[in-house]
Chain A
Amino acid sequence: MTEFITLNDETIGYLGKVVLQGISLKINVGERVALVGESGAGKSTLLRTIYERQNAESALIPQDLGLVHALSVFHNVYMGRLHLRSVWRNLRNLLRPATAELKAVRDVLTRLRLEDELRSLVGELSGGQQQRTAVGRALYHPGDALIADEPVSAVDEHQAHDILRHIQESKDTTILAMHDRALAIRYSDRLIGVKDGRIALDEPAAGMQPSDLDDLYQTA
């Protein structure tokens, strides 16, 4: 199996503070990993580290989404492939999008039931619509892997299932931080629990119950 990323007894800080300690981790290509744990446990820092160390071109959904509010949904999703196009083509699509590009982006948005908002400015959308726009950008990204921080936190449960299914269909390797334990177990085959800056749990997801994760959420 090809390995996606390996961390060996790493101590990782963020803004000068030690957030994660003694992290050893190996994730292979094709794995579906869910990161669980309390907020503030260090999940976001771990995701950021994984993104920075991986060598493949992976798609990323950061917690604050990183959308450009002054641009349309089309442009924000198109940005998933910005690095593949020439600057001239990007400039042209910024001013007047090509029909082919519009169609390709609309196809992605249809899967997320956001096709009606193709021309809307992201700043005018609801929180859930903005999150789906960020997912759209990740789906449009050509990479086979996705690293995402709470990708479905702002949508209802029904949509969450839809979105996670689409993510699984289009990405081989997924590393998703999720606070919803049921979703985490259902859409992963490996659970990694983070507690107090350390990896407290690393087990296959099959057969797990949400209550099995209680330890992660109790303060010592």
Chain B
Amino acid sequence: MSDVQKQSPLHRTAFSFLAIAVVCAIFADIEITTVNPWTELGRMALGIVTPDFLATDDFGMAMLYTLSFALLGVTFGNIIGFGLALVFFSRTVRIGCAFIRAIHELFWALLFLQIFGLSPLTGILAIGIPYAGIIAKVYAEILEEGDQAPLLTLPNSVSRASAFVFVQLPGAWAHFKTYSMYRLECGLRSSAVLGFVGLPTLGFHLESAFSQGNYSEAAALLFAFFAVIATMRLWMHKRMLPVYLIGAAAALPWGLTFTWDNIVRFLTRDIVPYPLRAEGDGDTMAALGDWLHLLLVDQALPGTIATIQLTMVALIATGLLTMVMFPLISPLLLRAKARMLGHLTLVVIRSTPEYILAFVLLQLWGPSMLPAIIALALHNGAIIGHLIGRFTETMNLRIDAARGINLYLYEIVPRIYRSILALLFYRWEVILRETAILGILGIATLGYYIDSAFAELRFDRALILILVTALLNICVDAISRSIRAKLRLQTSLEHT
């Protein structure tokens, strides 16, 4: 801390977060446990240069399913989210949305797998429900920030619906469209990752290719995935959307139906805490208390601690990586040719779902927090680095400004410092949600206990643990919002 700058609340907050992360890192389990991590890396590199597009039997179908789940799920989320945005003034709706978006797509998928099995509904709802919660919030904010002045000029007797359609909607429409495209990109990532819990998307084949060491096959799957995301703006047209949606609906295996018995059993029996449905004599309430106590102390507590610990380290690591990544695409620091390479690097890193990054690193280094930290930091650092790098394109520096590292340290970093912190706090909750999920890969965060509960068919436990995870998310979201409000940190980039 500099004694030249007055100890500002901004510096104090940043420093506290850094200190917390250091403490978390000291107690974190960070090690490389595999015997030959670098030989494996060499084999992976070989796979990347020799992709094999014919190795996967159901390549085409996997691609089709990935696209279909994403398109239908995001469309579902968009329609429901739009409807919810219109009534977002209701407190109940706001809390409901916060709740459904606090549960990650993979957890929704694990739940729906029990209810609908491998029916397409599982994938569509797993993406659609949390997305509806996110989209409702974003659309409500867009409507709120829209120009309200024209509303005042309308005649008093105009109905709310007409006013909305004529005044608010036209201004917000372009924002809705841009945001929907971004959501579709996220939806494609989510859809691919759903394969890791058993849905027939790309992730399913990626997982088996990686675990069998077929890196040429894995590389081909990843390349195909990048190609779909990179070309999205070319094939995604408004006019084609109905065609795509009908095609997607037709492509999915609706023959795999579910039984109502299954749904009823799951809702009325499976998720009811065990002591309540056990045919025992004795005190049911005491038994329930013990059950809950054991669950919270033995699983929820250590899971929560590990989740927070990993989140804090990953958050700071993201910040540090951002400082390295944004220069890769900044015209103030690199020439055009070098920037091309930088853009490519950032696009690839941020298009790869953090779940897949973590999975790959886990194969390389063995189970510890290290792969998760690096994966989260890489993915989120590339996202923030991209935003900040593009922002530096619009900076006007004096013509006698320093060069090289001096320019970076004295002219650029001080100008973007606040923005980076704002974006970091904003993504804090996103990182937390991902951290919980990475437990499914075997890192002892909340997801680990949830996944184990599902594997043991103890759905009552799984449900409580998912609720704990959602609550943790809502808390962090609230803290992040209050910090950003107090420090007046804005995520929309502007010159200071």
Interface set of A (CB-CB < 8 Å, partner B) = 48, 51-52, 59-60, 62, 64-66, 68-72, 74-75, 79, 82-83, 87, 90-91, 94-97, 102, 118-121, 123
Contact = CB atoms under 8 A, between A and B. Distances in A.
Most B CB within 10 A of own CB, among A59, A70, A121 = A70
Contact of B414 (A64, A71, A74, A91): A71
B271 to A, nearest CB: 52
B399 A62 contact: yes
Contact of A95 (B2, B401, B405): B2
A64 B398 CA distance: 8
Contacts of B415: 68-70
Contacts, number: 79
A87 B403 CA distance: 11
A62 B401 CA distance: 11
B409 interface: yes
Interface residues on B, range: 20 to 34
A95 B410 CA distance: 11
B496 A123 contact: yes
Nearest to B406: A82
Contacts of B3: 96-97, 119
Chain B contact residues: helix, strand, loop or mixed: loop
A219 to B, nearest CB: 31
B315 to A, nearest CB: 21
B132 to A, nearest CB: 39
Contacts of A79: 402, 410
B401 A66 contact: yes
A69 B401 contact: no
Given A70-B417, A70-B496, A91-B409, A82 B399 contact: no
B406 A51 contact: no
A123 B397 CA distance: 16
A79 B410 CA distance: 8
A68 B402 CA distance: 12
B406 A68 contact: no
Given A68-B414, A83-B406, A121 B2 contact: no
Given A66-B401, A70-B496, A118 B4 contact: yes
**Max count, chain A CB within 10 A of own CB: residue among B4, B405, B406, B496:** B4
A169 to B, nearest CB: 21
Contacts of B398: 60, 62, 64-66
Interface in B1-24: 1-6, 8
